[in-house]
Amino acid sequence: MTADELKSQVLPLLLSGTRREDGEQLRALGTDRERAVLNALSLAGQALRFTPPPSPSEFAVEIWPKDERQIVPERLRPHIFRLLDKCTEDTARALALAIEKQKLRPHPFDLPKLDGFIERYADRLGTTAQYWVQRQTPAQQSRGYFEADELNADNWTESNLRSRAKFLKALRNQDPEAGRKLVQKSWGAENPDSRVQLLSAFQIGLSAEDKPFLESIQKDRAPRVRAIVQRLLAAITGAVEDNPAVAACMERIQKSKTGLLKKRNALKLELPATVKEHEANRWIQEQFADVTIGTLARACEMSEEELVAAAGKDNNLLFALALMATREKRFALLDAISDELPDAWGRMSGLSSDEDFLDDADQLEQWAKALIKPKKWLPEVPFPAWSWLHRQMEGPLPAGIMREILASKEWAEQLDQEKKGPSLEIIQVICALCPRELRGMVRTQLEPLEVERKGKGWMLLEILDELESLT
Amino acid sequence: MAVISLEKIEAIASDQASLVAARKLVKPSSWSGLSSDNAGLIWGECQGSGSSPYRVVASEIDAGYKCTCPSRKFPCKHSLALMWMRAERKVSFESAESPQWVQDWVRRRRSGSDVSASAEAQPKSLVQATTDGPEEIDPKVEARAAAARDRSRRERETAILAGLDDLDRWLIDQTEGGLAGFAGHAGKSCRSIAQRLVDAKAPGLASRLDLLPSRILSLPEHLRATVAVEQLGQLHLLAEAYRRQESLDLDLCADVRREVGWTQARESLLGEDGALCISGSWRVVGIVSEVQPDRLRRLETWLWREGATDAPHVAVLLDFVPIASGQTRGPYRTGERMEATLVYYRFARPLRALIKETSNPAHECSASLELSKDGLAGAIAEYENALTRVPWINMWPMKFSEARVRRNSERLFLCSANDAGVALPLLMSQASTVTPLLAMEKIDGFGLWDGYSFRLCFAQTLLGRWVSE
């Protein structure tokens, strides 16, 4: 019997069961029935082993994106694995930001092993990483893979939301009309999250020319979109009465006069009785979300500087002003506010929603300088506030601020060996926030700590040094 | 004598936390009796949280280690710290003869070093010579023991033959009922016959049967019935070959006996005259770590002999560790190179080996490896050739060049880059790690083929080395 005969005649018998057959074909394979069955089994099995596995008639065409970025140096690959093993989110973010800044990308072979990291920071790690994250996404839901600086009016709808919002803000800065036309064109296909993000970019270069478009979307299905539209329209017309949010805020602000020799205006924000202390920051954020400093000052019949001075004794109102100044990029005003309310950034960090206040590196630096005053205040329950700061900064703090933090009494107390010492998390976030020129200082300060505690932060500094030394 | 490197310590550490913990012990004040025999062994005692200090020993040659601490990490921080101190050379190790507990460890472990040989070569003192003299052996006692061994052996042979008859009856039952639906009840029926074969002292066959259900169920449904035919057919072939050992050549006979469950002790192989010994430069080309049904983890280290013109080119070192120990990795890493003499177990196609002597311990090597000029078609032909000689081969090492990974639906295949003839389905559990290779036009590499799925272990690409670990 040949191998083909075994496969065509004997195999079907074995599969269906030899009991049902009279054994005509088996008889040739053995003297008795049992022997014949066993021989049939081993011979057919062996014949099958020489049959090559079926080859698919066609294969998928793989179109991996072209990634112009350099791969991270070979020597850093194992260190990156070790760093990302059980590190904090701040450490992972700092690494992703450094890789993005140096225009590097992870080694393609490391993508499966760093899946979680790649998933979270794909848009910072190059087009290959973006492709990797979307490899199992159905074609109709997947986006394109672009470097943020490769976006243009033709492909901008293909990228992720963060890059698109960034692109639109840059475009609005240069040519507000072009930006508006792009949004108008894609508006119908955008989901609510995209509509909110894209519409927020209209604050840049807002003018009367945007009015027809904004009026056309006043009845959007998403309440968040409607609220932004209303705010923008109010800002265009400049009329307080057009903005019900200002009126709602004014109902909560009490005006009075203080001082003995010279009477000064004083403003006080009355929180509703139903708002508990821990809910105050959140309530203020929502209440003042659609109000600008200018409109509020006009409603209070005073200048913006007078408004800040009048709110000087009321921390809640100052906090509201700090939020507004941040949103409007009024850094000089923010500086004055944070002089009166040094823990404004600590309160901002406690807000549950992660609003990206700013996305331009220069503006972030100005914002940090205006807001963070380590000599006046450092957070008492530090880690979440520091972590929030790193999220906002998307990189290290300005050297001046960091130097003040490292020289502060609070930080020195944290490092005190007699006490509990800084946590793993705080060490990592401080290392992530540390600018290059101060890494030596941080290392010196961390030196006496146990290896277990400082290990990850130390490793992050080493890797950042190596990445930044690449040309 | 090459000392262990910090890179090697980093590589064998199970995680960063182990290294951090070990770092704290890298100081002489935590240790007593730090010593070395200057032949590759270092040892010392480290005061831990227990009342008595932990005894730690390590081999510089193959990074083997043993510590008496109860840690579930392998290597533990004490072993890492001992090696670390040696690698840094900042702490002095006293030259000394290895104490009894170190010698016991050396005896128990697989020989990865020439430690025992060097120990024997050292001159002994008169006092030792007096006390170490050969013990008087009573010829009657010896004869009784030999007779007992012989009786036990005969009894086992009889039990195995009876077990093989049971196996045949079971195979007939399965075949009479039809193998199309075998996968559906394979778990229960394989377990029962496997237990009978364990009772019949044929653990090799029992292990094959225990693994069979999971092996079949790991394959696509349309293949399961024919794979059952193949696998059950092999069992009968083995049973039949065992009954006819006298008609087989010595190599094949040894192969059959090992498959059935007879084992050869390490010492016996190392002392066997005429055992195949191969010296050369070996590269680690694959690491496989798998849990077996008997709650042991099987650690395979596949080695490739560089620049070899004659067979065998490949060897596999096997280690078994209890799952409960938590150890998931052996001492080697893919890509490492070592100069060593390997002694092969007797096989019709020699594969499994032991390290007899190491002249240069395993160390990281970034040089590319000249694996094969053959494409996948050549590798398949070699596999079929081996199958002709040893029909019950389960796993066969394959080296290949100029291949590429391609996708069809959810499955990945290793295909010839130049012709469309060969496409080996890759192990489904490797789908994620192998996916980046889809972007590579051509790869050379090494893997293991079981007839149904290809386990890619190592690949050389334009972007550097890909390893499955």
Domain ranges of chain A: 3-49, 73-103+374-471, 151-237, 251-352+361-373
Whether B174 and B246 map to the same domain: the answer is: yes
Chain A residues within an 8 Å CB radius of B230:
45-46, 48-49
Higher-confidence position of B228 and A275: B228
pLDDT in tens, B279-309: 999 999 999 998 888 888 999 999 999 988 8
Integer Cα distance of B155 and B233 in angstroms? 27
- Do A48 and B226 make contact, defined as CB atoms within 8 angstroms? yes
Write down the pTM of the prediction. Answer: 0.79
Is B180 within 8 Å of A55 when comparing Cβ atoms? Answer: no
Distance from the Cα of A138 to chain B's closest Cα (Å) equals 13
pLDDT at B234: 95
pLDDT at B116: 43
**Top-ranked range on mean pLDDT: pick from A98-102, A279-283, A385-389, B110-114:** A98-102
Query: What pLDDT, on a 0 to 100 scale, did the predictor assign at position B224?
Result: 93
Candidate from A11, A42, A135 with C-beta closest to B236: A42
Work out the average pLDDT over B272-281: 90
pLDDT reported for residue B63 = 82
pLDDT value at A239 more than 70: no
Residues of A in contact with B168 (CB under 8 A): 34, 38
pLDDT score, position A23: 65
Q: Are residues B153 and B118 part of one domain?
A: no
Contact list, A38 vs chain B (CB under 8 Å) = 168, 171-172, 175, 236, 240
Instruction: List the single residue in A with minimal CA-CA distance to B406.
Output: A59
Question: Do B24 and A455 lie within an 8 Å CB cutoff?
Answer: no
**Residue B444 and residue B418 share a domain:** yes
Mean of pLDDT values over A269-276: 88
d(CA A123, CA A133): 10
Chain B CB contacts of A56 under 8 Å are 408, 413, 423
Higher confidence at residue B78 or residue A24? B78
Chain B closest-CA separation from residue A61 CA (Å): 8
Q: How far is A21 from chain B (nearest CA, A)?
A: 9
In whole angstroms, give the CA distance from residue B424 to residue A55: 8
Query: A261 CB near a chain B CB, below 8 Å?
Result: no
Is the Cβ of A58 closer than 8 Å to some Cβ of chain B? yes
DSSP B34: E
Quote the number of domains for chain B: 4
- What average pLDDT is seen over chain B? 87
Query: Is the CA virtual torsion A23, A26, A30, A33 positive or negative?
Result: negative
Chain A interface, best mutation among B15, B230, B238, by max A CB count within 10 A: B230
Q: How many beta-carbon pairs under 8 angstroms link A with B?
A: 146
Partner B, chain A 382-401, Cβ-Cβ below 8 Å: none
* Band of pLDDT at residue A411, cut at 50, 70 and 90: confident
pLDDT, mean of residues A451-471: 89
**Residues B114, B340: Cα–Cα separation, whole Å:** 10
| Least confident piece of the model among A239-248, B178-187, B309-318, B400-409 | A239-248
Taking the Cβ of residue A56 and every Cβ of chain B, the question of whether any pair is shorter than 8 Å is answered with yes
pLDDT in tens, B43-55: 999 988 777 889 9
A85 touches chain B (CB under 8 A): yes
Average of per-residue pLDDT across B101-110: 81
Identity of the amino acid at B263: T
Q: Do B13 and B92 share a structural domain?
A: yes
Report the residue of chain A nearest B180, measured CA to CA. A15
pLDDT per residue as tens digits for the range A169-214? 888 888 889 999 988 888 888 888 888 888 888 888 888 899 899 9
- Domain end, chosen from B122, B150, B176, is at B122
CA distance A381 to A300: 36
Q: B120: pLDDT confidence band, cut at 50, 70 and 90?
A: very low
B14 with B105, same domain?
Answer: yes
Q: Which residues of B touch A45 (CB under 8 A)?
A: 229-234, 237
User: Whole-angstrom Cα distance, residue B357 to residue B112?
Assistant: 7
CB contacts under 8 A, A 100-119 vs B, are 107-109, 111-113, 115
Q: Which among A58, A60, A451 is the nearest to B20, CB-wise?
A: A451
Q: Residue A60: which of B225, B384, B408 has the nearest Cβ?
A: B408
Nearest 10 degrees: Cα torsion A329, A332, A334, A337:
-160
Mean pLDDT of chain A: 86
Return the closest-CA partner of residue B351 out of B389, B382, B395. B395
Does B246 lie in the same domain as B160? Answer: yes
Contact A452 B24 (CB under 8 A): yes
Q: Which of B68, B88, B122 is the last residue of a domain?
A: B122
Q: Which domain holds residue B186?
A: 140-260
Could you tell me if residue B437 is inside a domain? yes
Q: Looking at residues B258-270, what average pLDDT do you find?
A: 88
At A2-19, the pLDDT tens digits run: 888 888 888 988 998 888
Residues B275 and B237 in one domain: no
Distance from CA of B421 to the nearest CA of A (A): 8
Residue B435 confidence (pLDDT): 94
Tell me whether residue B135 is in a domain.
no
> What token pair was written down for A173?
């800065």
Are both B23 and B117 inside the same structural domain?
A: yes
Kindly identify which residue of chain B lies nearest to residue A58, measuring between CA atoms.
Answer: B408
Mean pLDDT of B148-177: 93
Q: What is the pLDDT at residue A241?
A: 57
Taking the C-alpha atoms of residue A338 and residue B179, their distance in angstroms, rounded to an integer, is 80
**In this structure, what CATH number is given to the domain that contains residue B359?**
2.40.50
